[in-house]
C-alpha cells in the first residue's frame, strides 16, 4: 500500500499539535510554580527580529489548517488574537477540530491537484498537492512547532524531546 | 497518483540538508567577518542541557540516513567526529550521497514493511514503514534541522526562513 496524502498530513499534524498543546500546559505550570508572568514566555523570541512565541504557535496551526484547506478547497481563516496559553490551546483545539472534520478521501484525491499558496507577502507559487505538502507545508509546519518548543526550552521550561514528539 | 514513500522522504531530506549546508557557509562567513571563533557557534546550545550545534546537524543527517537505510535494509554507520563547519558540510554531503544512491523503487516498496528503530538508549519500537516515516522520522529530522538553524539565528547569524527552506 503506498503512502496516502491523508496519512502523510492530518495524523502528523494531530500528533505534533497535540504535543504542542500539552507543552503549553507545562509552560503554564512552570510560570505558576516559578511565579513568572506568562507573558514573559508568550512574547519571548530567540532573537529580536524573530517572531514571538504566540506567533510561532499560530503559524504551526495555520500551516496545518491551510494545507488541509487548500488540498480540498479553501481554508477557513482564523484571526491571530491569542495572547495567553489558554487562548493558544483553544487555537490548537480549533485547528485540530477542523483538520479532523475533512474526509480522508478528499485529501487522498489531492496529490496531483494544483495548489496555489503564498510565499512571502506578495508572491504565490503553484505546485501539485503532493509536492506542496512535502516541500512547502511539512518543513514550515515543523519549523514553527520546533521553534515554539525551542523558545520555551531556552527559557528554562522543563520539557524534553518526547514532549515535542507526542503520541501517534 | 498517490504520494510515494520515495517522494515523501529522499527529496525532502535533500532539500533541507542542502539548505543546511548553505546555512553553514553563511555561519562560517559570519564568523570570518565578525572575527568570531567558529567554535563559539559550533558548540552553542539554546540551554545548558540541550545538544550543541554540531550534534543537531549530525542528528538531522542521521535521521535522514537511518530512515532511508532502515526502509530498504540496514543503514551505514557514520561516526560523529565533526567539529568544524567544513567537516559538518562534508557530513551533509556524505549523507546526501548515500540517500541519493538508493533505488526509488526500493523505498517505494517499504510502506508496509516492519521497521524497528531505537527510541531512547535501550528501547526499540516497530512500525510499518509509512508510519515510521511520517510519525517518527520527519518530526525528528525537522526538529534537529530547525534547532540547528535556531541556534545560529539566536547567535546573530543573518539568515532567514528561506535559508531554512532551501530549494526543491
**pLDDT, tens digit, 9 for 90 and up, residues B26-61:** 999 999 999 999 999 999 999 999 999 999 999 999
Residues of B within 8 A of A1 (CB-CB) are 111-112, 130
Smallest Cα–Cα separation from B50: which of A160, A142, A26, A34? A160
- Residue B1's pLDDT is what? 61
Taking residues A74-89, what's their average pLDDT?
97
The mean pLDDT of B134-141, rounded to a whole number, is 98
As given in the structure block, the three cell numbers for residue A105 are 478521501
- Calculate ∠ Cα A28-A31-A35, nearest 5°: 150
Average pLDDT, chain B: 97
pLDDT in tens, A104-125: 999 999 999 999 999 878 999 9
Q: Which residues contact A61 (CB under 8 A, 6 or more apart)?
A: A17, A78, A91, A92, A94, A95
Question: Among positive and negative, which fits the CA dihedral B48, A27, B59, B75?
Answer: positive
Report CA B108 to chain centroid distance, whole Å: 21
| ipTM of the complex as predicted | 0.97
Per CB-CB distance under 8 Å, the chain A contacts of B104 are none
Looking at chain A, the whole-number percentage of residues with pLDDT higher than 70 is 99
A:75-114 residues touching chain B, CB 8 A cutoff: 108, 111-112
Contact (CB, 8 A) for B16 and B56:
no
Identify the pLDDT of residue B108: 96
CB contact under 8 A, A168 and B46: no
* CA separation for the pair A15, A85 (Å, rounded): 19
Q: What is the Cα–Cα distance from A121 to A117, expressed in whole angstroms?
A: 11
pLDDT tens for B79-118 read 999 999 999 999 999 999 999 999 999 999 999 999 999 9
B77-89: pLDDT as tens digits:
999 999 999 999 9
Look-up of cell digits 531554512: B164
> At CB < 8 A and 24+ separation, what contacts does A113-116 make?
A113/A71, A115/A70, A115/A71, A116/A70
Query: Model's pTM, two decimal places?
Result: 0.98
Cβ contact B140–A50 (<8 Å): no
Interchain CB distance below 8 Å, A47 and B154: yes
Of the candidates B37, B21, B164, B166, the residue with the CA atom closest to the CA atom of residue B88: B21
Amino acid at each position: 500500500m503506498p503512502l496516502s496524502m491523508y496519512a502523510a498530513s492530518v495524523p502528523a499534524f494531530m500528533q505534533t499539535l497535540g504535543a504542542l498543546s500539552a507543552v503549553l500546559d507545562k509552560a503554564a505550570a512552570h510560570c505558576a510554580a516559578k511565579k513568572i508572568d506568562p507573558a514573559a514566555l508568550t512574547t519571548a523570541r530567540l532573537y529580536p527580529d524573530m517572531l514571538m512565541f504566540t506567533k510561532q504557535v499560530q503559524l504551526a496551526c495555520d500551516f496545518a489548517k491551510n494545507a488541509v484547506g487548500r488540498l480540498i478547497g479553501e481554508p477557513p481563516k482564523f484571526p491571530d488574537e491569542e495572547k495567553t496559553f489558554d487562548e493558544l490551546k483553544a487555537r490548537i483545539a480549533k485547528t485540530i477540530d477542523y483538520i479532523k472534520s475533512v474526509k480522508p478521501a478528499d485529501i487522498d484525491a489531492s496529490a496531483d491537484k494544483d495548489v496555489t499558496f503564498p510565499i512571502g507577502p506578495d508572491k504565490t507559487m503553484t505546485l501539485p498537492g503532493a509536492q506542496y505538502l512535502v516541500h512547502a507545508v511539512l518543513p514550515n509546519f515543523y519549523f514553527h512547532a520546533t521553534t515554539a518548543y525551542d523558545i520555551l526550552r531556552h527559557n528554562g521550561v522543563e520539557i524534553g524531546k518526547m514532549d515535542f514528539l507526542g503520541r501517534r
